[in-house]
A and B are shown apart, each in its own frame.
Chain A
């Protein structure tokens, strides 16, 4: 289905969503950060930015969430299942790269058994994406088989066609349902070919060259070179829409407790530390290799998807100026013979 949305109708859209019982999550300016967060009014929505600082991930895999609660009474324990975590919502104005991360992540959360916390939120949340009309030097969606107007993962895709108008395209039944629910807000599609204002994102590397290189070079001096600057802060994993690793811990008083899933990351030393003190990834170069390998080799072999959408957040946020697309560029153009370094 195709429609248009005039900017002047945004107010009716956001009020309409509220009336229909949706919570709305949208980019909002908060001090100097543009953050995807819950909004109440259309005025709060920020449009003129490249990318939000946080990714869409936290609305499906929260930073911290209860996966069960229990009460301990002497020798007996009773368990209560968390409820109400999947709230009917619309994410409005996230980017195509963020939306594209969702079907990729579905694969791991559905691998043989289903993580209901992820999947029930996926069902409850509708994604209305705005195609990018600008980008920065960190963006590299076009290098990972996506585009600034990619449709993957979006239920509705909005594309700017003039200063005050968006083309509205529905990509799923869920998206179509949403547009129908709020029919009066949208106008008929323009006659003729609309002038889609979409950014041009430069292609930085040939993705086809990356995995073959990784297949051969688990041992390579590049890993140490890449990681020398990294301080292991893990910020890159937290802002990443496709980093799904988590920890499970108990939080408890004497008689009541919650079992909680928290974001975790492969860049932390503790992540793989055995209780014996042995650590299979004890150095930062091993941990950086894991990050690249997981995203561009392991996930591809397991689930036939690259675990990266080229949003550039990891590189924007890194305090040590590590840049993943520069690394992938080096990897994809490395013609030389592998130069193995000695194993530790």
Chain B
């Protein structure tokens, strides 16, 4: 019988420093057949292991349309993430996944999309953003509102440039007041305020919001005010996870196991969950 806890072995093929303490790994399967059979969809997550230290949960930050690798972006925050950041290109890490549900991007076809991300929460959105950009004709206007504390904290700086240069994407970047540099050309202000100023008409539009709880808390009412119905607003929940498979019993909010039934939820689904976030 297969061991559901056994990770794939992956090679780190590329390391990118995104921001202070934030790093992206590009990973390739050591076993080619495993790589060929591997499929995932935007929104899913995995457990990444630094052997000797343990496993950590990150979303898959690359797009399923880019098939020959998987990427993750993580912030150095504790035991496992510190150990991961000691690793270099050529080293081996463990990968267990993909787990969880997905963004229903097929349902969104023919609609406008507005992505709202704060801080380190761009990685979960990056997968779905690239997924939609790689299928660009299926969607109408695409707007991305992305904010971080300071200019240095913005991740995926090269991709932000790329998105700025594209005329089929409207990228709005913002930093918190005081976080700007003299040459900063983006906005200065908190994400909810910037969303209020820049979000497209809610008609025929899907909003996808990821960020720290405080940002989500203040952004959802803004979207509501702009006329977004709760079932047109998507977000992800990040509870503490260990197994990712519905067995270890720690990630639930009420009856909902975030690792199996999430991490992607609509604001409507979240509003029905008990208040235990």
Contacts and interface: CB of A to CB of B under 8 A. Distances in A.
Interface of A: 67-68, 70, 72, 75-77, 79, 81-82, 108-109, 111-116, 119-120, 218-219, 244-250, 252, 257, 259, 261, 264, 266, 271-276, 278, 280-281, 286, 290, 293-294, 297-298, 301-302, 343
A247 B242 contact: yes
A298 B252 contact: yes
A218 B277 CA distance: 13
A115 B52 contact: no
Contacts of A273: 240
B27 to A, nearest CB: 13
A281 to B, nearest CB: 7
A132 B238 CA distance: 45
B54 A249 contact: yes
Contact of B240 (A79, A119, A274, A298): A274
Contact of B5 (A68, A72, A278, A298): A68
Nearest to B2: A116
Q: Is the interface of A mostly helix, strand, loop or mixed?
A: mixed
Given A114-B4, A248-B5, A109 B247 contact: yes
B3 interface: yes
22 contacts: A72-B51, A79-B9, A111-B246, A111-B260, A112-B245, A116-B2, A116-B4, A119-B1, A218-B274, A244-B249, A246-B247, A247-B242, A257-B52, A264-B242, A272-B239, A275-B77, A275-B78, A280-B253, A293-B254, A294-B252, A298-B252, A343-B275
A286 B254 CA distance: 11
Given A77-B9, A113-B4, A218-B254, 18 more contacts: A68-B3, A68-B5, A72-B51, A72-B92, A77-B94, A81-B6, A109-B247, A119-B1, A245-B249, A246-B242, A249-B54, A259-B49, A266-B249, A266-B250, A272-B239, A275-B78, A298-B255, A301-B255
A335 B1 CA distance: 50
B54 A250 contact: yes
B276 interface: yes
A79 B49 CA distance: 13
B243 interface: yes
Contact of B51 (A120, A245, A250, A294): A250
Interface of B: 1-7, 9, 49, 51-55, 77-78, 81, 90-92, 94, 212-213, 238-240, 242-243, 245-250, 252-255, 260, 274-277
Contacts of A278: 213
Q: Is the interface of B mostly helix, strand, loop or mixed?
A: loop
B241 to A, nearest CB: 10
Contacts of A298: 252, 254-255
Given A81-B3, A218-B254, A250-B54, A274 B248 contact: no
B255 A79 contact: no
Contact of B238 (A266, A274, A293): A274
Contacts of B239: 272, 274, 280
A323 to B, nearest CB: 23
B1 A272 contact: no
B52 A112 contact: no
Contacts of A246: 242-243, 247-249
Contacts of A266: 249-250
Contacts of A119: 1
B248 to A, nearest CB: 5
Contacts of A249: 54
A173 to B, nearest CB: 20
A58 to B, nearest CB: 17
A308 to B, nearest CB: 14
Question: Which of B7, B53, B55, B255 lies at the interface centre, i.e. has the most chain A CB atoms within 10 A of its CB?
Answer: B255
Contacts of B2: 116
B247 A75 contact: no
A113 B250 contact: no
A115 to B, nearest CB: 6
Contact of A108 (B6, B247, B275, B276): B247
Given A247-B248, A275-B78, A280-B276, A252 B51 contact: yes
Contacts of B254: 218, 293, 298
A248 B275 contact: no
Question: Which of B4, B7, B52, B213 lies at the interface centre, i.e. has the most chain A CB atoms within 10 A of its CB?
Answer: B52
A293 B52 CA distance: 36
A35 B42 CA distance: 50
Contacts of B252: 294, 298
Contacts of A293: 254
Nearest to B273: A218
A77 B246 contact: no
A259 B253 CA distance: 27
B249 A294 contact: yes
A-B CB proximity, top 4 nearest: A245-B249, A252-B52, A116-B1, A77-B92
Contacts of B260: 111-112
